[in-house]
Amino acid sequence: MDTQMENTKMKKKILIFGATGYVGRYMVQVSVSMGHQTYAYTRPINLAAVTNQLKLKTIQDFKAMGVTIVEGELDDHVKLVGILQQVDIVISTLPVPQYLDQLKIISAIKEANIERFLPSEFGCEADRSKALPPFQAIIENKKTIRRATEAAGIPYTYVSANVLAGYFIHYILFPDQICNHQVTIYGSGQKKVVWNYEEDVAAYTIRAAMDSRTLNKTIICRPLRNIASQLDFVSSWEEKTGLTLNRIHMLEDDLINLTQRLPLKESIPMAILHYIFIKEDETSITLKEDDLEASALYSDYQYTSVNDLIDSNLINFKNIKLSTFI
């Protein structure tokens, strides 16, 4: 049997932290679809809180899919160790505010015998990225988790997913902006970006989690058909919709100023936009000898191209009443 097929067809027990979050839900769905016994570690739900209704619905959906739900806090070391001892693979998709909470997971992993840990990454390549201070602080937290994982001698795989395309396509083309024929272009709009559909990122992650070739290495998701500038994307949208969008440019100095004067919570998105669309050409990061490119490593997997994503968003766009544009 081909080594690639052997590595990706093994069935494992996979525990996912942050499972009910944006990226976590994709991880759970893909893990289940590939036949793995999937566990979701989640905080206990306060049924009285209105904000927990979506989370409750997500958990109910997970249970219907056969996912084992484990309720607990990250501070509950004994419980963490107990569940970790039952699984093979641990994937964290904890959100930005909880990045450093992964130190608690690492501490518990040291008392369990797992095969692989994949910390919450799914963005820029932390060890080779430099951003404006609000975003750089997040990158430094990712690096802290990497170094702690390595120092503990835990088998790992890091997944650098670049831009989560589904999220950022909606961010750039808000329905109200589309309806007003307006789109914001950050900087010149010519910097190349690597757009990866969230489900593809999850598929690459689950495959890499049990692949001997990815042990203690970094996976970089850089499919050739997903490399496009913001202007490439907007021009394709215009061609497919027949619309001409009013392009409002936000210059680099404007974004930098916003990161300096806005409250931290609001300045972080501005710093991320600066990193993606102005400062960093994601294709300029040279792959090292130990790096692995996901679409080449799993060439049998049919990933979603930028063009496919535009087409899928176009379906939703066409459902908007024509009168909106008159």
pLDDT in tens, the chain (326 residues): 344 444 556 899 999 999 999 999 999 999 999 999 999 999 987 766 656 788 889 999 999 999 999 999 999 999 999 999 999 999 999 999 999 999 999 999 999 989 999 999 999 999 999 999 999 999 999 999 999 999 999 999 999 999 999 898 888 876 555 556 789 999 999 999 999 999 999 999 999 999 999 999 999 999 999 999 999 989 998 898 888 889 999 999 999 999 999 999 999 999 999 999 998 767 777 777 778 999 999 999 999 998 898 888 776 665 543 323 22
pLDDT at 320: 41
**Torsional sign, CA 176, 177, 180, 181:** negative
pLDDT at 197: 95
DSSP string, 83-97: HHTT-SEEEE---GG
Tokens of 317: 């766009």
pLDDT at 73: 95
| Spatial CA neighbour of 149 closest among 191, 172, 124, 118 | 118
How far is Cα 4 from Cα 297, in angstroms, rounded to an integer? Answer: 8
Distances (CA, A) of 235 to 168, 231, 305: 16, 6, 16
Amino acid at the residue 282:
E
Is the pTM of the predicted complex or chain greater than 0.75?
yes
3-state secondary structure of 227: strand
User: Which class for 308: exposed (0-12), middle (13-18), buried (19 or more C-beta within 10 A)?
Assistant: middle
Residues designated as active site: 142
